[in-house]
Structure 1
Amino acid sequence: MIMLAALLRQPMLPVVLLLASLLPTAAPAMAAEISDGFESGRIDPKVWAPCPRQENRFFIDDTVVRSGRYAAGMALLPGDAVPAAIPPMEARRRRSGCMDTMPGAVFAPERDQRAELWLQPAEPNGADRWFGFSFRIDEPVRTDGNRLIIGQWKQSGGHSPILAQRFKNGAFHITVEQEGPTPGQQCRVLVAWQDGYDFSDFPGYPSFLHGGEDTVGGRLPTDRRGDCSHGLTIDRKGPLPSPFGAWVDMVVHLRVAAGPDDLIEIWADGRPIVTIRGPVGFRDGGAQYFKFGPYRDPSPNPLVVRFDDFSRGGSFAEVDPRRFDQ
């Protein structure tokens, strides 16, 4: 009190300045760990490893962008309207499903089509990270019912994505993966969906056993007769928007180690979509990594996806794609 009274006897401006000096200062805004709006006009090989295959093309677009001057694009069965492909690049990451496979190995195309960008720095199992990005899919909406994934988080090994952005008949939905009730089985859980989603993949239950491998590597069959999820609390807050012909801003908070304290939070266009708590992923899974782009069953239909305003960091504010608008 004596110090404050002494300050009040001084002229007003010094008092204001001295009082301000006693207050805690706001921490400077943290920058995202990785941030790429593709404003360099290229796909940075230090950040992304494109997966080259005969059916795909990667490009930089200056006409359809979320913000700034450029966006990245990827196309399956590209036509003449798709911009020119980026020059081939040397990637640090080698993948068996891509033509830049491990040295000495022979590229064996799988029974699928893909045009994915792999985020170069992988993460240790259980890393607590936030991801933000914007994407859109060229119309028209395809209704062939085949598997289509655009954006997924995986653990190294042979398991399905621990978190996947999926599409069926044009409807956006999201699934997580966890260990099934017996060793080697995988349980797929539906956690979010767009209005109008066809629930025929999940008849009567929000999850099903969709396979995996037994102890000798044999494929286990899909079984949709019961709910196989365990230990999960799913708080659905709203429907997903459609990215066909419109940009969608995604934010994903991921902390997954196949344990009871796992956490996934998802926002779309600034709105909360779902919070998942409980075991996600696989205890024998290795490093976690993110890849973005279309991955689908074979189809004769061209598909073009655009990707912009990506960040990986430690909070919502660091990765929210809307910060690129400032």
Structure 2
Amino acid sequence: MRSILLTAMMSLSGVACAAAGLDDHFDGSKVDPSKWTTQQVLSRQIEFTKPGRCGNAAIDIVTKDGDDGLECEDDCQRAELRTVKKTWPNFGDEVWFSFSFKITGDVPSKGSARSVIGQWKGPGDSSPMIAQRFDNGVFHITVQDNDVRRVIAKAEGDPDALLSAQNLLGNLEFNEQNVNAIKSLQSLDLISRNAPEVSKQFFSQSLMQSMGPEAKGGDAKALSEALGLHENGDLVSQFRSLSFVAEPEKYIGKADIEIVPEANRPLPDPRKDWVDMIYRVKPGRTDNEYGPRRAAEIDVWANGQKIVSVKGNIGATLKKKDNFPLAGPYFKFGTYRLRIPGTFHFEFDEFSQSATRAGLAQLCATH
């Protein structure tokens, strides 16, 4: 009798009783309403492509020029599917996720700012606690410590240089002067790389050279002082490894997150082929007033290789006064971005969710 009452109370509170298993291979060429909700996507944005990653079909979320976004707060395009509530785990439980995706169509290598292509949200999150992003042609994964963001893996470049740049941004105080300085630094860097002829015509050679790892100390220091980043010449010369991100100001300030990348293992490029992802997610924060009071743990694999391990305070701090139900994180996939011209295809397949890695659906081997 006691167990029946407990189950009923948890159901009424909106909390999942366990990390419910969920598999979807999308071979039926239709969205299964027992697995996915569609309130943030229009029916005309859902297509199916054949063949899929392994089976007959894969779902294809299509975003076109004229598309707007459901539940958008600005000029954005949003087309996402979300797992149904009955499959959400208890917040704090270890959950494993696996899926495959690729990107086709009009895929800009620059200007694609704030492009989220998959996200996990927990109780109290505004920005997702974990997000797959595709800004300026670079696939990367981020986590949040409340309002402070960190890249934990990306598809190109030196992971050690990335961590160094983030650490330097973490030492800055979040204020208007530093925010404007970082935005200006990003603009200068993107112009120097994406429009070199323009930079040669309007900017001095020493200015452009000051923003790379080969920069002379004096040049980097001069630009740093001009931007108001006093005594931060190292940040100026190392920022390039992070300049692809949208909203660089969100990386300013301390974050209690430890990132341990595997040596020389970037994420694959989803524009070239299917990318197979596995995530182990165990939410938590040491400063929670209720819920899991311990550091979170995240591990990420891509195409069968371990990419990164992460530990620390991830997601929003749970305050007793807010009393959010301890359910999630729930997973969403599709497109959520600022408006970009062209037709964008986000193909997704072979989704699996389980309490253990052994419980994930097996994936066909093509890599």
Contact 2:119–2:131 at 8 Å: present in 1 too? yes
Q: Number of aligned pairs?
A: 252
Look up the match of 1:265. Answer: 299
Q: Report the structure number with the largest CA radius of gyration.
A: 1
2:143 maps to a residue whose letter is V
What's the CA shift for 1:158?
Answer: 5.0
TM-score by length of structure 2 reads 0.61
1:203-282 superposed matches below 5 A = 204-206=165-167, 223=249, 226-230=252-256, 232-237=257-262, 238-259=265-286, 260-282=294-316
Which runs of no fewer than 5 residues in structure 2 stay unpaired?
Answer: 1-19, 175-246, 287-293, 319-323
* Mapped partners of 2:29, 2:61: distance in 1: 15
Q: Which one of 117, 128, 138 corresponds to residue 171 of structure 1?
A: 138
> What whole-Å deviation, never above 9, does each CA across 1:258-279 have from its counterpart, x for those lacking one?
2343110000000000001122
* Mapped partners of 1:304, 1:190: distance in 2: 24
* Mapped partners of 1:199, 1:140: distance in 2: 31
Look up the match of 2:25. Answer: 37
* Mapped partners of 1:225, 1:323: distance in 2: 38
2:107 maps to a residue whose letter is V
Which aligned runs of 4 or more in structure 1 are off by greater than 6 angstroms? 197-203
* Mapped partners of 1:194, 1:124: distance in 2: 32
What's the CA shift for 1:243?
Answer: 0.5
Relative distance call for 1:224 and 1:198 in structure 2 (3 A) is: farther
1:195 maps to a residue whose letter is E
Contact 2:118–2:332 at 8 Å: present in 1 too? yes
Relative distance call for 1:151 and 1:116 in structure 2 (3 A) is: same
1:25-64 superposed matches below 5 A = 33-53=21-41, 57-63=45-51
Q: Which has the higher contact order (CA 8 A, sep 6+)?
A: 2
Say if 2:79 is the partner of 1:115: yes
Say if 2:347 is the partner of 1:306: yes
Contact 1:56–1:78 at 8 Å: present in 2 too? no
Relative distance call for 1:134 and 1:321 in structure 2 (3 A) is: farther
What's the CA shift for 1:229?
Answer: 1.2
What's the CA shift for 1:224?
Answer: 6.4
* Mapped partners of 2:144, 2:160: distance in 1: 17
RMSD: 3.3
Look up the SS of the partner of 2:363 in the other structure: helix
> What whole-Å deviation, never above 9, does each CA across 1:187-218 have from its counterpart, x for those lacking one?
1011111114899999932465999xxxxxxx
> What whole-Å deviation, never above 9, does each CA across 1:200-252 have from its counterpart, x for those lacking one?
999932465999xxxxxxxxx9846854112x321101210000131000000
Where is the strand percentage greater, Structure 1 or Structure 2?
A: 1
Task: Give percent identity, aligned residues only.
Answer: 31
Question: Which stretch of structure 1 is more off in the superposition, 284-293 or 263-272?
Answer: 284-293
Look up the SS of the partner of 1:205 in the other structure: helix
1:8-27 superposed matches below 5 A = none
Look up the SS of the partner of 1:176 in the other structure: strand
* Mapped partners of 1:155, 1:132: distance in 2: 18
* Mapped partners of 2:269, 2:164: distance in 1: 23
Say if 2:53 is the partner of 1:66: yes
Relative distance call for 1:54 and 1:224 in structure 2 (3 A) is: closer
> What whole-Å deviation, never above 9, does each CA across 1:119-160 have from its counterpart, x for those lacking one?
113333212100000000004531214110111001244520
Where is the helix percentage greater, Structure 1 or Structure 2?
A: 2
Look up the SS of the partner of 2:268 in the other structure: coil
Look up the SS of the partner of 1:316 in the other structure: coil
Look up the SS of the partner of 1:125 in the other structure: coil
Relative distance call for 1:225 and 1:40 in structure 2 (3 A) is: closer
Say if 2:141 is the partner of 1:188: no
Which runs of no fewer than 5 residues in structure 1 stay unpaired?
Answer: 1-31, 80-96, 99-106, 180-185, 212-220
What's the CA shift for 1:57?
Answer: 0.3
Say if 2:115 is the partner of 1:154: no
> What whole-Å deviation, never above 9, does each CA across 1:39-68 have from its counterpart, x for those lacking one?
2232101001124556960122224x1011
* Mapped partners of 1:159, 1:224: distance in 2: 13
* Mapped partners of 1:265, 1:243: distance in 2: 19
Look up the SS of the partner of 1:115 in the other structure: strand
Contact 1:178–1:258 at 8 Å: present in 2 too? no
Relative distance call for 1:262 and 1:158 in structure 2 (3 A) is: closer
* Mapped partners of 1:139, 1:123: distance in 2: 34
TM-score by length of structure 1 reads 0.68
